[in-house]
Amino acid sequence: MKRFLDPKLADLVRYAPGEQPHGGPVVKLNTNENPFPPSPSVLRALSGGESEKLHLYPDPEAAGLTRAIAERFGVSERQVVTGNGSDELLAFCFHGLCPEGAVFADVTYGFYPVFCRMFGVPFREVPLRGDFSLNVDDYRNHRETVFIANPNAPTGIALTLSEVRALLEQDRDRLTVVDEAYVDFGADSATALLDDYDNLLVVQTFSKSRQLAGIRLAFALGSEPLARDLATLKFAFNPYSVNRLALAAGEAALRDEAYFERTRREIVKNREALQEGLRALGAKTLPSEANFVFMRPPMDAAALYRALRNRGILVRHFPGGRTGDWLRVSVGTDEQIVALIGAVRDILRETADAAG
Ligand code: PMP
């Protein structure tokens, strides 16, 4: 019996994050983390004076980081809101920026429907096409706030900038939130449209292309009035959600453009190798602009997931529905990709032998 839980939340479900292993060496390709460590300048910033100031609250305005973000993206500081990972900023969007409800794809980031249930926001899921691509025309008659992960997760497929523009044009009084967690690995960022559209909010994170998943840091960019509303939602909840170490690390990461570029290129190169290796084994892969590949193996996906796990290789399986025959594999280092491809080859051979 849920003795103390508000009955309104009786149907609440948890977002199920990918497994974080507690012991033993594993090849971890299940949560789209960056396989490279943070930039050396981030490590220097973290070992500097900030930790001695942890008895003091962080700057709720995040002034230094906000300035760095505004400079990097060519926007005013009043257009920037920082948060404790994009999950936090997205939570504020679902909570406070969906007066008509929310609409998003049937196959997309699994947290969106969880947020809707948490905040009592009615939502509709619009089916992607058979090939998992998104048809922006399907959103034309929806008045709800639109959430687009671009590139999409878990597919890796991206919309072009003109498709995002078309979405924004459909109804200039309807807000579209573009969740760009993976944008730096290949897609065009909707930040290029911020000057033209005040019905656009772009959310980006430091978790993927800037190697800081463990520090929890993200930011949103929108028109000044929209950013002000989002900041109000944040300050009504927790003005200190971005801690001192995150502020210092984020600023250092943003200013080390060379490391960002080098690691980004490496991941794009490795993605091609991963796709080729999987296809050579008979898997189908979707075109990915992200740091992961969605693939349909030539055997039962759940069985392959389990067999890989038994060998210490973690990938992600989303059982049921349209995704149950597929696995999502994060792009790792060269060595991780070699280990994964070798293991898939062995498992396919063993499965064929057992069947024959
Ligand atoms: N959006 C998408 C599409 C994601 O896949 C993720 C990562 N799980 C997030 C947002 C959240 O990322 P974070 O909270 O680490 O910024």
Residue 1 covered by a domain: no
CA of 34 to the centre of ligand 1 (A): 12
Q: pTM, whole model, 2 decimals?
A: 0.97
87 lines ligand 1 (CB under 6 A): yes
**Residue 294 phi, psi (nearest 5):** -95, 120
Taking each continuous run of H as one helix and of E as one strand, the counts in the chain are 10, 13
Range of the domain at 76: 40-256
Q: Examine the domain organization and report whether 47 and 162 are in the same domain.
A: yes
Residue where a domain terminates, one of 256, 288, 316: 256
| Number of domains making up the chain | 2
Q: What is the CATH number of the domain that holds 238?
A: 3.40.640.10
Q: What is the CATH number of the domain that holds 334?
A: 3.90.1150.10
Instruction: Provide the pLDDT confidence category of residue 137 given band limits of 50, 70 and 90.
Output: very high
At 241-277, the pLDDT tens digits run 999 999 999 999 999 999 999 999 999 999 999 999 9
Whether the predicted pLDDT of 24 surpasses 80: no
The contacts of residue 197 (CB under 8 Å, 6+ apart) are: 165, 168, 172
147 lines ligand 1 (CB under 6 A): no
Residue where a domain terminates, one of 221, 256, 291: 256
CA of 110 to the centre of ligand 1 (A): 10
Q: Examine the domain organization and report whether 201 and 335 are in the same domain.
A: no
Question: DSSP state, 188?
Answer: P
Q: What percent of the chain has pLDDT over 90?
A: 94
* Residues 2-27, mean pLDDT to the nearest whole number: 89
The contacts of residue 356 (CB under 8 Å, 6+ apart) are: none
Residue 26 covered by a domain: yes
The contacts of residue 245 (CB under 8 Å, 6+ apart) are: 46, 50, 51, 54, 215
109 lines ligand 1 (CB under 6 A): yes
290 lines ligand 1 (CB under 6 A): no
Gap between the Cα atoms of 144 and 221, Å rounded = 20
Q: Which atom of ligand 1 is nearest to the CA of 205?
A: 16
Q: Do 234 and 81 form a contact (C-beta atoms < 8 A)?
A: yes
At 41-70, the pLDDT tens digits run 999 999 988 999 999 999 999 999 999 999
Sheet holding 145-149, edge to edge: 80-83, 218-222, 200-205, 176-179, 145-149, 102-105, 123-126
